Structures are given as structure tokens and as C-alpha cells.
Copies of this chain bind each other. A is one copy, B any other.
Amino acid sequence: MISNKMIGLVQNSSVIRAMFEEGKRLASIYGAENVYDFSLGNPSVEPPKAVKNAVIETISEESANLVHGYMNNSGYEDVRRAIAQSINKKFNTSLGEENIIMTVGAAGGLNVILKTLLNPGDEVITFAPFFGEYRNYVSNFDGELVIVSPNTVNFQPNLSEFEKKITAKTKAVIINTPNNPTGVVYSEETITALADILNKKQTELNTSIYLISDEPYRELVYDGIEVPYLTNYYKNTIVGYSYSKSLSLPGERIGYLVIPGEVDDFSDITAAANVATRILGFVNAPSLIQRVVAKCLDSEVDISVYNRNRELLYNSLIDYGYTCVKPEGAFYLFVKALEEDDKAFAAAAKKHNILIVPGSSFGCPGYCRIAYCVDYKTIEGSLSGFKKLAEEYLNK
């Protein structure tokens, strides 16, 4: 009796979420301390103290009708102005409040911009491995997700295949750097080459191709690496940002879109994104938390905690004989499965109470994602299991 589209979606419902539930089940049997759940990107580091202070300050000092009331569907003007100024300072952009639309997380932002842009049958290109929800977001508006196959050497995008897949129907390209699931940061060289291809193709096809940069992991980078700010490299860039990871607020559903003034059809796009925010049922990003993040623009979670996890896990796995590109950002490690079938490999890991997600969920079979945004103890506890798992395969 439910819609035909939903029947399929329920059946294939997110493997990640299913594992999250499985983790809870195993924990109830073996005890939480004996289950090593690396399935979900749920930040373990606490939000910075500034968040709590900002909540209390906002609720105590600002008018309740302002804090909890309706505002423009695109968000509070003062909040958007503060965010624009903060981005300008960090990335040398020249944004104003008119360039910012507050969204219900990055997921909300992506849906708003895709609703804004897509006609049925329009193509959206993304690079495997990619966040599996892109399939659903594009499908929500009857677009076609076109997937560029993975470059498993270093997980930088495969640009020659990309160029071939751009057609007159290509409306947008979604990239995600630092990347979920690989943790790889696309290099400046990659971004420049990507922008060149897009510019060339726009001219050739006489179309506008929007580069949608999905950036929930921007601040989670290690070893002092820089993540290029894409609006500075390609004119038709739209950024989707989220505070889920930078402030450890994933449940709050707060983020924003950046739509720079120089993108083609800027006025139509911002007007339509405003309307899309309303009619998709978001109405506006949650109000109190909008005001809170505006007071925490210079705060960040303590990423040294994730870095410590990364080092222990990466070094141990390499030591045990696994193959993996060392992640430079986010809190994921994308390890090569020790057999061709990544789902079978994830099932073998589960026998050691280790929960990891098959790469097929990210359009990249043969690998598994390990989300290391967990307690250090969880990583320590899991190591003997990872070691035994490797031995089962490598000593065959």
C-alpha cells in the first residue's frame, strides 16, 4: 500500500543504519565494551563548550519570540551575515547575507539545491566512492545520478572518465572533500583540473554546470593539510555545509548553502532555493540552533582526538597486512577487503564483533569503510579482532 518507489527503498534501506541497529543488538548480548561498532559517522568528540554557553546565552538574553519564531525561509539575516563574514575572513571570498541560505543540515541543503536545479532526466555526476544518499537525493527530483568509477590508486577523482561523462544533460556535479568514505582530500591540482574541464565543457555545450561541494568534513583535516575553497576555483560553485561534524551537532540538523553572486542565474537560484526550503517542508533551519552556531563561528571540536584514533588504527591495520590510503581528513578509513566480496568480508568482521560498512554502499565494491569517530578504547579493543581477521585471510 506504500508507494512503489518506497517499497524498493525500504528493502535496500541504508546498510549503515541497519548496522547501527545491529550494533545495539550485539551490545545487548555481549556488552557494549565488547562490540566494536565502526558503522556510523556519529561524532564521539563532544561539542566545544562554546555551544553550551551560546545556548544558555541565547535562551537567557534574547527574546523568546525571536529565538523560537518564524523568520525568512532562508534564515535569520544577522546569522547569515555573520556566517558570510566568517567565510570571507577564512577564504578571502566576498559573500554577504544574500549568498547564504540556512539549511536543515547538509542533507537538507543538497535537497534544496537539487529541487532548485533539476528537471526530470537531468544528470548529476559524482565520483565513486561517494556518500550513498546522493542516489536518493537526486532520485527525489527524478534526476539521473551518473557515477564516475573509482580511482583506487589514491582515490582522487578519475578526471578523464569524468570529462567523457559530461553531456548536454549534465546539470550538476557533486563532490565531497574531505571525502566520505575514503578520508581523502582532493588536491589543489585535482580541483584546478576539474574546474578546467567544467569550464571547457560549459563553453562547448553552452550550458551552466553547477559544482555542488558537499563539505561537512571541511574542518576535520590532519597534518596541517589545506582544503581548497571551491568558489575560488570555479565560478559556478555552490557549497553545502554542515555543523554536524565541525561542532559535533549532527542531531541538530544545521548547515547552510553558499550561493556566490557570480554563479549563473544567481537571483533565480536564490529565490528558488528560498521557496524550495519552504515547500519541501523544511520551512526554515531550526531557529535556536541557527542563533547558536552564529555565536560559535570560531569554535571547533578537538580533532586531535580523531587524529589519535586515525594514527592507531591506520598504523595497526597496515601492520596486520591490510591495504589502505592514509586518510587526510574526515573520520573514515577505507580499507581494501581481503576478499573480492566486500559484503562477505564485512560479515566475517562481524564474527569478531567488528561492524564495518561494505564499500558497495558507496559505489566502490571490494572495500569497507571504518568510521573511527569512536572512543580510543573501542579502537584498542578491536585490534586483536582485526588482527585475527587478517590472519584468517592472509595465512590461507
Which A positions have Cβ atoms within 8 angstroms of B? 1-7, 9-10, 13-14, 17, 40, 42-44, 46-47, 51-52, 55-56, 59-60, 64-65, 67-71, 73, 104-105, 107-112, 115-119, 122, 133, 136-137, 140-141, 208, 248-254, 264-265, 268-269, 271-272, 275-276, 278-289
17 CB < 8 A contacts A-B: A2-B268, A6-B275, A10-B268, A10-B275, A14-B278, A43-B65, A46-B64, A51-B64, A51-B68, A52-B64, A64-B248, A69-B248, A109-B281, A112-B281, A136-B279, A251-B284, A253-B286
Question: Complex Cα distance A208/B70, Å?
Answer: 36
Do A251 and B71 touch (CB < 8 A)? Answer: yes
Do B265 and A208 touch (CB < 8 A)? Answer: no
User: Which of B2, B4, B116, B282 meets A6, CB within 8 Å?
Assistant: B116
**Assuming A3-B119, A68-B51, A280-B281, is B59 touching A288 (CB within 8 A)?**
no
Identity of the chain B residue whose Cβ is nearest the Cβ of A13 in the assembled complex: B275
The interface residues of chain B lying within 8 Å CB-to-CB of A71 are 251
Do A276 and B6 touch (CB < 8 A)? Answer: yes
The interface residues of chain B lying within 8 Å CB-to-CB of A122 are 3
Q: With both chains docked as a complex, state the minimum distance between the C-beta of A377 and any C-beta of chain B, in angstroms.
A: 15
Give the number of copies in the complex: 2
Q: With both chains docked as a complex, state the minimum distance between the C-beta of A16 and any C-beta of chain B, in angstroms.
A: 10
Q: With both chains docked as a complex, state the minimum distance between the C-beta of A52 and any C-beta of chain B, in angstroms.
A: 6
Do A281 and B248 touch (CB < 8 A)? Answer: no
Top 8 closest A-B pairs, CB basis? A251-B287, A111-B281, A136-B279, A1-B265, A107-B281, A6-B272, A286-B286, A108-B281
Do A111 and B3 touch (CB < 8 A)? Answer: no
Do A283 and B105 touch (CB < 8 A)? Answer: yes
The interface residues of chain B lying within 8 Å CB-to-CB of A55 are 55, 59, 288
User: Which of B133, B268, B284 meets A279, CB within 8 Å?
Assistant: B133
Identity of the chain B residue whose Cβ is nearest the Cβ of A133 in the assembled complex: B279
Do B65 and A59 touch (CB < 8 A)? Answer: no
Beyond A104-B283, A140-B281, 4 extra complex contacts between A and B, CB < 8 Å: A1-B268, A52-B60, A111-B280, A136-B278
The interface residues of chain B lying within 8 Å CB-to-CB of A3 are 115-119, 122, 141, 272
Question: Complex Cα distance A105/B119, Å?
Answer: 27
The interface residues of chain B lying within 8 Å CB-to-CB of A65 are 43-44, 46, 248
Q: With both chains docked as a complex, state the minimum distance between the C-beta of A209 and any C-beta of chain B, in angstroms.
A: 10
Q: With both chains docked as a complex, state the minimum distance between the C-beta of A213 and any C-beta of chain B, in angstroms.
A: 17
Identity of the chain B residue whose Cβ is nearest the Cβ of A40 in the assembled complex: B70
Question: Complex Cα distance A7/B117, Å?
Answer: 10
Q: With both chains docked as a complex, state the minimum distance between the C-beta of A189 and any C-beta of chain B, in angstroms.
A: 29
User: Which of B7, B252, B264 meets A68, CB within 8 Å?
Assistant: B252
The interface residues of chain B lying within 8 Å CB-to-CB of A10 are 268, 271-272, 275
**Assuming A9-B279, A14-B278, A279-B133, is B59 touching A42 (CB within 8 A)?**
no
Q: With both chains docked as a complex, state the minimum distance between the C-beta of A326 and any C-beta of chain B, in angstroms.
A: 26
The interface residues of chain B lying within 8 Å CB-to-CB of A288 are 55, 251-252, 288-289
Q: With both chains docked as a complex, state the minimum distance between the C-beta of A28 and any C-beta of chain B, in angstroms.
A: 14
The interface residues of chain B lying within 8 Å CB-to-CB of A253 are 104, 282-287
